[in-house]
Structure 1
């Protein structure tokens, strides 16, 4: 009788680990700001990854489709040099859970949908400069505060 429980227990473990497709969205709201000489400016920005191009006038919250590819940001304002920024995409914790517990099938799905990745939540573009922002260097407090703010706006 005990041998019949083993498949049930293993099946339950796999199904309860959850994949990013279930636990995370394939979109993310990102706060974009622009500045010149330390002062905020309104700039027209274009955010691009392999899932699409998104436009905004700073300061703005922009909803983008997540991807394993980095997010390129270009901001323009008449009379100022362009601001360039690259936001590094990083695998979310749930992606690693898929690989370890789910046998990788969920990870393949999450990779193709983008739900297994995250970008930094705040992108501060400096006009006249080229900047790289990595999700790894973003503090947990910044990410949590921005996520709560985004949830309040979009829910």
Structure 2
């Protein structure tokens, strides 16, 4: 190896060590530009429901609507809400990759991403979470159907947005050689249909009158 080649290798090594040192010097960040906590605004129908949140080494009790700071290490978080005249309702809050992970591709390169993975960083809870509690009883079949038709419409809108985002990321249609795109769309449709089936099952079992 020539002197010039050896000097270039040393420069690259110093750069690599500098990036690693920067990532490790910021333990409260993910790992360079984002932290591990995220705020979630929790709302329910009806309002003023009492919600208990339980996760890994994490417990909170709030009255809705309310904002809660959630550490990513607590995921997944179970949220159980109750209100007078409504059935107790439970859902799960989980994290997703946030946009700051791409900041590390610019600032920290592979090392930055590796530090993120080691810390569980780059993951965020959704900024807003809505939960609709099911009435214990409906006054009439019309009231029942209005309620469940609304639930079905909300599910349809949600999965339409998700599938539109998937199609946008994959380009128009499903490109040849991208089985992950087709698989993602099929999975989204399957999950949507499961939620539809759950709604119809609850509709058929709902108490009316009395």
Relative to the length of structure 2, the TM-score reads: 0.49
- Asked if 1:58 corresponds to 2:64, the answer is yes
Matched, 1:25 2:35: yes
Q: Which has the higher strand share?
A: 1
In structure 2, relative to structure 1, the CA distance for the partners of 1:55 and 1:84 (3 Å cut) is same
- Out of 83, 86, 90, the position equivalent to 1:84 is 90
Write the distance in 2 (CA, Å) between the matches of 1:26 and 1:2: 36
How far did 1:77 drift? 0.9
Give secondary structure in 2 for the equivalent of 1:47. Answer: strand
Per-residue CA shift, 1:120-140, capped at 9, x if unaligned? Answer: 1111010029xx999x95xxx
Aligned equivalents of 1:121 and 1:50: distance in 2? Answer: 19
Alpha-carbon separation, structure 2, partners of 1:77 and 1:21: 40
* 1:34 aligned partner: 44
Structure-to-structure mapping, 1:96-111, within 5 angstroms: 97=104, 101-102=110-111, 105-111=114-120
The answer to whether the 8 Å contact 1:68/1:90 transfers is: no
* 1:2 matched residue in structure 2: 8
- Which structure features the higher share of helix residues? 2
SS across alignment from 1:34: strand
Count of residues in Structure 1 that have an aligned counterpart in Structure 2: 129
What is the CA distance between 1:15 and its match in structure 2? 5.0
8 Å contact kept, 2:37–2:124: no
Judge which range, 6-15 or 74-83, deviates more: 6-15
SS of the counterpart of 2:85? coil
Residue pairs, 1:130-141, within 5 angstroms = 137=162
Aligned to 1:67, what secondary structure does the other structure show? helix
Please state if 1:118 is matched with 2:124: yes
Structure of higher CA gyration radius: 2
Q: Which moved more, 1:41-50 or 1:8-17?
A: 8-17
* 1:64, distance to aligned residue in structure 2 (A): 1.8
- Checking the alignment, whether the CA contact within 8 Å between 1:70 and 1:86 is kept in structure 2 is yes
CA RMSD of aligned residues (A): 3.7
Contact 2:57 2:74 in 1 (8 A): no
Structure showing greater relative contact order (alpha-carbon pairs closer than 8 Å, 6 or more residues apart): 1
